[in-house]
Amino acid sequence: MPQPTTRRKVLTWATAAAAAPALAACGESAGAARMTKDHGRKPGQKVTLRLWTWVPLQKAVALWNKRNPDIQVVAQMVPANTSGGYQKMHAAVKAGNPPDLAQVEYYALPEFMLEGGLTNLSEYGADKLKDSYVDWQWKQGVFSGGTYAIPQASGPMGLFYRKDVLEKWDIEAPKTWDEYRAAAKKAKKRGSYITAFPPSNAQWFASFPWQRGAHWVRTEGDTWIVDLTSPESLEVADYWDGMVRDRFVLQTQDAQSAFYKALQTGELVTWPGAQWYDALIRGNAPRTKGKWAVSELPQWEAGAHASSNWGGSSTAVLQGSQHPVEALKVAHWLNTNPDSMKLLIEAGYGWPAAKIDLPKSPLGKPDPFFSGQRYNEVFQVSDRNVDTSWRYAPTTTQSFTHIQDNLALALVGKGSFVDALKDAQTKFVDDLKAKGLKARSAR
Amino acid sequence: MTTSSVKSAQPGAGDSARPTAPPKATGRRRTRRARPDRKAWLFLGPFLAVYLFAMIIPVFYAIYQSLLKVERSGPLGLGAPKVVFGGLDNYAIALQQDAFLEGFGRVLLFGIVQVPVMLLLSLVLALLLDQISDRWAGLMRATYFLPYGIPGVIATILWGFLYVPGISPITEMLGDLGFQPDFLGPDTVLWSIANIVIWEFAGYNMLIIVAQLKSVPQELYEAARIDGAGPWQIALRLKIPLVRPALILTCVFSIIGTMQLFAEPLVLKKIAPAVIPDYTPNLSAYFDAFSNANIYVAAAKSVILAVVAMVLSFGFLSLVTRKQRSER
């Protein structure tokens, strides 16, 4: 005889059902749902690895697959970094079904570390590979003695400039930021802009305080010290504020169609960019072939050779991979094998993290697009001069967004760049604290 | 009204074989009433199951999560992070974020302007539709309702093209007339969003009001006409008071919708730097959860948002009904 269902019973069930997740969630993990584990591979056994990236690595991966039938890599394209790629990776790590290999930029490595999302590759013999890579790039993936990522490429900064236009105007390529401003004035008179100022690109903007010698974050013991408002940072902020106020720069987001159009038409005559911008300019402003050249970044102090880095990424093995040994093998081959590097260079992936012999590398050839210049020699010097003591906090994505938003507001006349940094400073510290870390302002 | 309820309304119907004890009959009647009850539960079952798993459980889970926090040690938190009970810490973190609170201010301002404008538009459209002949009314109703059928994300992409200078024919036309409109600036983008939301929902709210108008007995209008009321007077003195319940309903829905403003600013964010991650409370919670990996803070923000939306909608309801009560 079935009992009639009463309202009270239904309510009891509902409460029980609602309580179930609460009881189950006592096992909430702070990091990855699944830990990396090597299952060992018998000879002849076939494994398939997944690689998530937004960099065009497909050709290199295809080459690996041809040579290694037993270890097949499936390259899956995800949205670039913060426009969805990292979110996907974090979610996959949390859910316990991550890809084995992932494209993670240097600045984002600490964030993945914080979430426990990376595999300690030292346990699988990564440290033996150290000598194949440029030291500072290798160190980007080293945390408290363990190696967590294999470096792929960096982005040493340089100044791309329209050689033909500057010669016509009888201007030398600017060596200091003061000269750069003077050149901007002349360009303005002739209806052009010296450069573009992207309203929301904090990574690009950060390369200038970095070059000036600022350190936005550092650690003391277990406390993060945030310092966006050092004299060096404020000097840089003031400089660009002045350039914007005097309308010497074109406000447009870089790497977008309007920006490329301005490059094509000669509206923009220089662009302080990372090495990997060569492929972007070549691909998106083909009509300007032979008119470009590269020099080192203008200096804050005449005669100095300070430099900085914009971008750069690594190949990491996410926490939860079931084939870490094979994944490490692939990551190392991808970033050091000469055939693979040749394909990556063609795809314009940046400045190699692997040690290279420039004259023998395809990077060392004179380039007709850059008026026959061996332009990568400039970037090689720049890479050596990068201040490698610059660090990234584990909340960079979030905190750089504040800087970006504040600069964007300053651009439309709400406050100055200096105010923008001061306000972002407070938010930066709050971001770190919200993560359960110790943090304070430097001043 | 089902047949069974009619049956149970006649005591003793169908059990004339047992002319015993009237007191027991009440008990029997109760069991007989339970029968349709059970059938009703059977029909409600699938809905309730989905509702339980997709609404009720997540709500409790979010409240539970909002009370947790991660404990870390060392500058990179490498010392084996643990999830521990954090009490109201996440609420403190959320409420100390000025940007999050500013988001509330923004949606409130948005609501105070956008909801009345939209409902006025819906009401005017509904009254006009009620006036014109039936043959056109159907077509016009469908036309006004059509935007509601377009998902908010798609609608925002379409409007985005009309807002971006260089692509938009609107800015070009206004530019030719000597105006320099900036639809995506920090002071204007909120109203650009309001425009999209009005476009999306005015027709939907209009339909609810029209439905209420349709249920008004025609005798009332006849009586009013006999008393010498013109169309204006009928609209103002008769129709508007009669659709009051529909207006209250749409207003409550709109308040809740405004508090949860999300898709439109998220899509516009790509083309408008003024739309910061904390632009609306909902956006703020989303970015905390999926971009900053602060799931527990995001849960707290969601709970705060739900509470504020509840307070506002119930507050509005009690305000309106108190007026009604005093009028009676």
**What does the pLDDT look like over A301-334, one tens digit per residue?**
999 999 999 999 999 999 999 999 999 999 999 9
Beta carbons of B57 and A21 less than 8 angstroms apart: yes
Stretch A84-111: mean pLDDT: 92
* Single-letter residue type at B45: G
- Rounded to a whole number of angstroms, the distance from the CA of A92 to the nearest CA of chain B is 11
Query: Using 50, 70 and 90 to split pLDDT, how confident is the model at A414?
Result: confident
Q: Would you state the structure tokens that stand for residue A38, as one six-digit string?
A: 């090597």
Residues of B in contact with A30 (CB under 8 A): 70, 81-83
Q: Which residues of B touch A (CB under 8 A)?
A: 31, 34, 37-38, 41, 48, 52, 56-57, 60-61, 64-65, 68-78, 81-83, 93, 96-97, 99, 166, 185-186, 273-274, 276-277, 287, 290-294, 297
Residues of A in contact with B56 (CB under 8 A): 14, 17-18
Interface test with B, best of A3, A9, A90 (most B CBs within 10 A): A90
- Rounded to a whole number of angstroms, the distance from the CA of A382 to the nearest CA of chain B is 30
Q: Which backbone phi and psi does A202 adopt, to 5 degrees?
A: -65, -30
Beta carbons of A150 and A129 less than 8 angstroms apart: yes
- Rounded to a whole number of angstroms, the distance from the CA of A194 to the nearest CA of chain B is 22
Q: Would you state the structure tokens that stand for residue B169, as one six-digit string?
A: 């024919």
The secondary structure element, H or E, covering residue B291 is none
Interface test with B, best of A93, A401, A403, A428 (most B CBs within 10 A): A401
Q: What is the pLDDT of chain A when averaged over all its residues?
A: 90
| pLDDT at residue A207 greater than cutoff 90 | yes
Beta carbons of A411 and A196 less than 8 angstroms apart: no
Stretch A219-234: mean pLDDT: 94
CA of B304: how far to CAs of A15, A335, A414, B61, B63, in Å? 22, 47, 30, 14, 10
Contacting residues for A230 by C-beta, under 8 A, at least 6 apart? A209, A214, A215, A442, A443
Residue segments in chain B with a per-residue pLDDT below the cut of 50: 1-30
- In angstroms, rounded to a whole number, what is the distance separating the alpha carbons of residues A129 and A148? 13
- The pTM of the full predicted model, rounded to 2 decimals, is 0.79
Query: Using 50, 70 and 90 to split pLDDT, how confident is the model at A20?
Result: very low
Query: Do the Cβ atoms of B57 and A397 come within 8 Å?
Result: no
Of A136-150, A193-207, A231-245, B178-192, least confident by mean pLDDT is B178-192
Residues of A in contact with B283 (CB under 8 A): none
Say which DSSP state B265 is in: H
* R_g over Cα of chain A: 25
| Residues B266/B271/B274/B276 CA torsion (nearest 10 deg) | 30
Q: What share of chain A is helix, strand, coil (3-state, %, to 5)?
A: 45, 20, 35
Half-sphere exposure of A41 (CA within 13 A, CB side): 15
Q: Would you state the structure tokens that stand for residue A385, as one six-digit string?
A: 């001069």
Half-sphere exposure of B262 (CA within 13 A, CB side): 14
Considering CB atoms only, which of B52, B73, B81 is closest to A116? B81
Q: What is the pLDDT of residue B15?
A: 41
Q: What is the pLDDT of residue B328?
A: 56
